[in-house]
Amino acid sequence: MDCASTPGEARAYGLACDRPLATPSHKREVDLSDKSRYEKPRLAVLGLGHVGLPTALGFVELGWEVIGADDDASKVAMIQSGKAPFSEPGLDDLLARGLASGRLTLVHCVEEAVRGATILFVCVGTPQKDTGEADLSQVEAIVRTIACNLNGYKLIVEKSTVPAITAQWIKRTLARFAKLGNGLGKLHPEFDVASNPEFLQEGKALENIFRPDRVMVGVESERARALLERLYRPLDCPILITDVRTAELTKHAANAFLSTKISFINMVADICEAVGADVTQVAAGVGLDPRIGREFLNAGIGFGGYCFPKDLRAFMYLGREHGVDCGLLAEVEKINLRRTEVFLKKVRHAVWVLRGKTMGVLGLAFKGGTDDIRESPALHIVKALLEEGVQLRVHDPQAMEASRQEIPPQAGRLEYCSSPYDAAREADALLILTEWQEYRDLDFRRLHELMEVPVIVDGRNLLDPEIVRTSGFEYLSMGRHDGAERPAIPVESAS
């Protein structure tokens, strides 16, 4: 049996591990002269970051032998010692089981991983250039390494988010460098390139791996299709098989659409605020329509993280390069960039002059459930407030260490606090910048006693206005009633 037969994460997510992995139709297509087509292939995951490590451990849990490779030797050593290099719920346990299983090999020599496996998942970073274009230099470097180490058939699978033309370049690069460097003297090295985009959300990565909504596989050969279907069949979800470009593009389209939903609701929040309506109820009302759906309609300080902002820009860049008007997405980005100013305006509205005030900040991560601060809207706001001369006392359940690296503590200006209560001490206002569930359950009466002025500005609409106000706070949030009287019609029309 190919998949895990022991109880574990896979079982915990309700996977049916006793399903046959080869269908009669695949058997018919197997070329018996090539053993790699029906033997159990070994996998390599190249790049052990937020996507690569959960992916590698997920496959190990499902029963596959996996070589995890990263050229950062200290990261590999850390993983080998049983410690994940970033925080992700359940990951440390999964790593412990993976290491104990004997099916996980960790190396920092990427060449070794390429030579030791048949299916190679490319999970390296695709950061952005100043132009918004995706920087594919890490992808190219890894593909050249693969090309020089082709010791048999390889299926190269793009998992990193890449623009919809990348597979073509991977194929050309493989063909070009394989001829030069594989030592086999082969003019036609055997490989396939496939796209299998990840749809992992930080904080829910394992749930997304073991219970995905869908798996998308873009292939150009029956062999690649059979191999990838075999990997994913134990996951009880739709498997969409497409051509490679379609799979590549789907990932960008999904992230662009989700970003659009967020900017849309943020625009609606501003209108709600202007006319005195409540955006959370509007979101509930429109979200009950199954054509719309309630998820990703939470108004606030905007979207951040390593994916949405850069993927949006890369998708616009791709569109522009091909003469497609991406004005819609440009607006999505513009609305998002404006959220910091919208929030600062609200803080000014709450406390009047900013300079010299002391404020507690709850939340630094780009969203709840992670220690990731990349493109965090919370940090944009922290930086803006420091520039305005506000003294900040900040807290985050997981992202303090990373934030300290990015913005070191400054005596009398920025202090990292060990608890939300410590952050609130003698503050003129308390700002909620990340949607950590634990901030919902704070003792508001205690907070009230600690603060100089009992004002809360909630950038994530995390708190229940009723509870906070009955605890004696002045409470402002995003696109919800703040208790102020508002005109029901525009002032110009009223006159």
Residues 6+ apart with CB under 8 A from 195: 157, 158, 162, 167, 216, 217, 218, 244, 245, 247, 248
Length of the chain: 495
CB atoms closer than 10 angstroms to residue 53: 27
Residue pointed to by tokens 């918004």: 132
Nearer to ligand UGA, 200 or 224 (CB): 200
Reported in sequence order, the residue ranges of 230-330 that DSSP labels E, i.e. its strands, are 239-242
The amino acid sitting at 159 is: K
- Residue 310 vs residues 69, 305, 342, 414: alpha-carbon distances, Å: 25, 9, 22, 29
Reply yes or no on whether 307 is catalytic: yes
- Residue 16 vs residues 21, 104, 226, 239: alpha-carbon distances, Å: 11, 22, 19, 16
Shortest spacing between CB 395 and ligand UGA, in angstroms: 17
Shortest spacing between CB 258 and ligand UGA, in angstroms: 6
Nearer to ligand UGA, 145 or 370 (CB): 370
The amino acid sitting at 305 is: G
* Residue (of 46, 147, 188, 61) closest to 106 by Cα position: 46
For residues 369 and 409, is the Cβ–Cβ distance under 8 A?
Answer: no
The gap between the terminal CA atoms of the chain, to the nearest Å, is 77
Dihedral, 54, 57, 61, 64 alpha carbons, nearest 10: 120
β-bridge mates for residue 128, sequence order: 134
Nearer to ligand UGA, 210 or 366 (CB): 366
For residues 368 and 435, is the Cβ–Cβ distance under 8 A?
Answer: yes
CB atoms closer than 10 angstroms to residue 410: 11
Nearer to ligand UGA, 279 or 385 (CB): 279
Shortest spacing between CB 378 and ligand UGA, in angstroms: 9
Residue pointed to by tokens 């609200």: 346
For residues 91 and 58, is the Cβ–Cβ distance under 8 A?
Answer: no
Nearer to ligand UGA, 8 or 52 (CB): 52
CA distance 1 to 173: 36
CA distance 422 to 489: 43
Nearer to ligand UGA, 268 or 450 (CB): 268
Shortest spacing between CB 179 and ligand UGA, in angstroms: 34
Q: Using CB under 6 A as the criterion, which residues of the chain lie in contact with ligand UGA when the complex forms?
A: 161, 198-202, 255, 258, 262, 296-298, 300, 303-305, 307-308, 311, 366-367
CA distance 269 to 478: 6
**Set 3, 307, 326, 417: catalytic member:** 307
Shortest spacing between CB 403 and ligand UGA, in angstroms: 15
- Residue 377 vs residues 110, 270, 299, 365: alpha-carbon distances, Å: 35, 17, 13, 8
Nearer to ligand UGA, 241 or 258 (CB): 258
Residue positions annotated with a catalytic role: 307
